[in-house]
Amino acid sequence: MPARSTSLRMLTGAIITVVMLAGCQTLDDAGRVIGRADLVNALASRLDQSHELTYSADYQLPGGQSASISQSRDPLRAAYTYPGGKLTVTAEATTECDTTATRKPTCTLTAPPEPSTKPAIAIFTEMNKRGLVTPPVVIGLLTAAALDPNALIRQYDTTVAGRHASCVRVDGLSNAAASTFDACITGEGALGSFTGSVDGTDLDVALSNYRDAVESSAFDLPPGAGVVDRRPEPQ
């Protein structure tokens, strides 16, 4: 695997191994069946491959709020903007910004992921509380569904923001952050939509715009933000 591709996967935290399972699962009223692991592996791989792309995706959230995910291959970096916050992951730092309207924006810089590691999943699950579900979280839920023989998985296709998407509806999932969820993945591999309650937070995310490009300003700190640098001193 090329070193650049490996680094990008580490930056975005989306390296997933899907365990193959025996047996089949009924997926729709027509009685079509598909291997549970085949379905999950296809969608998880599509999401994973999107982290090798340069793209920008805008999302509509409930109450007229919005969020976005931006990624760049050259240089390798990713940015997640959501109500009240922003996270950027680059080769220089992992930066979490609090942009709550009642206070001055504050950004905390910590060390970037090491080449052989990935950002802690807690970084991504924290965004759930602000309304944005990220690909690593969705991949984790899909993997949990594949491992749960009692989960009911139904597949369907739809169009999101003018783009074809493959979707799954999962019910009865145990030992996961969500027991029921609905997720759609576009042909490019972007998260098309997600509906479900993750760790007690109701989420409803829908793609509103997708571009095969990203503005460099997407990775800038919020205007006027105070900076707290907690990166270790160089040895």
Burial of 40 (0-12, 13-18, 19+ CB in 10 A): buried
Beta-bridged to residue 185, according to DSSP, are 166, 191
Quote the pLDDT of residue 23. Answer: 30
| Cβ neighbour number for residue 235 with a 10 Å cutoff | 3
**What pLDDT is stored for residue 109 in this prediction?**
96
pLDDT of residue 115: 62
Which phi and psi (to 5°) does residue 223 adopt?
-55, 135
152, 24 in Cβ contact below 8 A? Answer: no
* Residue 157: both structure tokens together: 């296709």
> What DSSP string runs through 152-207?
EEEEEEEEETTEEEEEEEEES--SSS-SSEEEEEETTS-EEEEEEEETTEEEEEEE
Can you name the residues that pair with 79 across neighbouring β-strands? 70, 88
User: Do 173 and 180 touch, CB atoms closer than 8 A?
Assistant: yes
| Torsion angles phi and psi, residue 76, rounded to 5 | -70, 120
Instruction: Enumerate domains of the chain plus CATH numbers.
Output: 3-229 (2.50.20.10)
Specify whether the CB–CB gap between 42 and 35 falls below 8 A. no
In 3D, which of 47, 19, 49, 132 has the Cα closest to residue 85? 132
Write down the pLDDT at residue 235. 67
| pLDDT at res. 3 | 44
Q: What is the pTM of this model?
A: 0.81
Amino acid at 21: L
Q: HSE, CB side, 13 Å, CA atoms: give it for residue 106.
A: 8
Residue whose structure tokens are 């979280």 = 137
Provide the token pair at 104: 């001055």
Q: Is 216 exposed, middle or buried (CB count within 10 Å of its CB: 0-12, 13-18, 19+)?
A: exposed
Question: Within the chain, where are the H helices?
Answer: 3-12, 36-50, 121-128, 135-147
Q: Say what the pLDDT of residue 119 is.
A: 59
- CA 90 from centroid of its chain's CA atoms: 16
Query: d(Cα 70, Cα 8) in Å, to the nearest integer?
Result: 13
Tens digit of pLDDT at every position of the chain (235 positions)? 444 444 444 443 432 222 222 233 333 433 333 466 678 778 988 887 887 889 999 999 999 999 999 999 888 899 999 999 999 999 899 999 999 877 799 999 998 877 645 556 677 777 888 999 999 899 989 988 888 888 899 999 999 999 999 999 999 999 899 999 999 999 999 999 999 999 999 999 999 999 999 999 999 999 999 999 999 987 6
